[in-house]
Amino acid sequence: MSKTFDRFASLIFLVLGVAFVVGSQTISASAYGSNVGPNIFPMGLGSLLILLSLRLFYETFKYKQEGEKERQKLDYKRFLIILVAALFYVLLLEEIGYVVSTFLFLLVGFQTMQKGKWLNSVLISGAFSFGVYLLYVEVLDGTLPGLPTWLGL
């Protein structure tokens, strides 16, 4: 992208991150049946967004002059595939559970970005899906949609 666009985007993301952190302070700190309160996720996302926006702003100082590089062609096909996969992920999360829907979303995303390497995609998608589920549900005592009942597990 361009240096100017990235600088403005980083400032906008910084403001959004701060808004998430400030807004999360107004949410209750605990939820019924869970040790992880509803304020943790937006606060974590806001903090991550702040850090990433600061990194993006810092990286803009390392850019070459704008006239030195050629324009890159936009890849609409990949964007649309991942957009549709994200919409299906949101729609199917409750129906098929977190683990299955996250696994499928990541698998589609990995294969969209780099075709082939099915074994790596399957292993990383599976490890991430199960790992996050176990960490969040078992260790942090949070709640996520479990496996679908039709699996019989």
- Closest by CA to 145, choosing from 66, 137, 153, is 137
Tell me what pLDDT residue 35 has.
62
| Alpha carbon separation from 40 to 25, 73, 145, 148 (Å, rounded) | 9, 39, 18, 26
For 135, other C-beta atoms within 10 Å of its C-beta total: 11
Mean pLDDT (whole number) for 131-150: 74
Mean pLDDT (whole number) for 113-117: 80
Tokens of 35: 């040790």
Tokens of 9: 């985007």
In this model, does residue 119 exceed pLDDT 80?
yes
Tell me what pLDDT residue 95 has.
80
Predicted TM-score of the model (pTM): 0.57
- Spatial separation of the C-alpha atoms in residues 94 and 147, rounded to whole Å: 9
CA atoms within 13 A on the CB side of 148: 10
Tell me what pLDDT residue 7 has.
84
Give per-residue pLDDT as tens, 33-85.
566 666 677 788 888 989 989 998 888 888 766 555 566 676 778 888 888 88
Tell me what pLDDT residue 41 has.
72
